[in-house]
Amino acid sequence: MFASEVPEGKGFPAGNHRMFPWGDEAMQQVFPGLGNRGASRGNCPGAEVLSLARWEMGCNVSGMIVLIRHGRTDWTDLRLHTGRKDMPLNEEGRSEARKAAFKLEGFSFQTILSSPLARARETAEICGFGPQLVTVDDLMEWNYGDYEGLTVEQIREKEPAWTPWTHGYPGGEKHDEVADRARRVLERVQNEPGPVAIFAHGHLLRTLAACYLGLPPVFAAQLMLQTGCISVLDREFDLPAIRRWNR
Over residues 205-244, the pLDDT tens digits come to: 999 999 999 999 999 999 999 999 999 999 999 999 999 9
Q: How far apart are CA 169 and CA 162, in angstroms?
A: 10
If pLDDT is split at 50, 70 and 90, which confidence band does 27 have? very low
d(CA 33, CA 40): 11
| Of the candidates 74, 71, 78, 88, the residue with the CA atom closest to the CA atom of residue 154 | 78
Q: Flag whether pLDDT at 119 surpasses 90.
A: yes
Is the pLDDT at 6 greater than 70, yes or no? no
203 is an active site residue: no
Q: Catalytic one among 70, 81, 175, 203?
A: 70
The one-character DSSP state at 49 is G
Query: Is 167 among the catalytic positions?
Result: no
Residue that wins the pLDDT comparison between 226 and 44: 226
Closest among 224, 138, 198, 123 to 173, alpha carbons compared? 138
- Out of 77-86, 104-113, 204-213, which region has the weakest mean confidence (pLDDT)? 104-113
- Residue 22 reports pLDDT greater than 80: no
- Catalytic residue among 96, 105, 141, 173, which? 141
> Is the whole model's pTM more than 0.85, yes or no?
no
Q: How many Cβ atoms sit within 10 Å of the Cβ of residue 87?
A: 17
Pairing of strands 65-69, 230-236: antiparallel
User: Is 71 a residue whose pLDDT tops 80?
Assistant: yes
Does 225 or 2 have the greater pLDDT score? 225
pLDDT-based confidence at 62, cuts 50/70/90?
Answer: confident
* Predicted confidence band of residue 16 (pLDDT cuts 50, 70, 90): low
**Which ranges of 23-174 would DSSP assign to H, the alpha helix?**
24-30, 52-55, 74-77, 91-103, 118-126, 152-158, 164-167
% of the chain exceeding 70 in pLDDT = 75
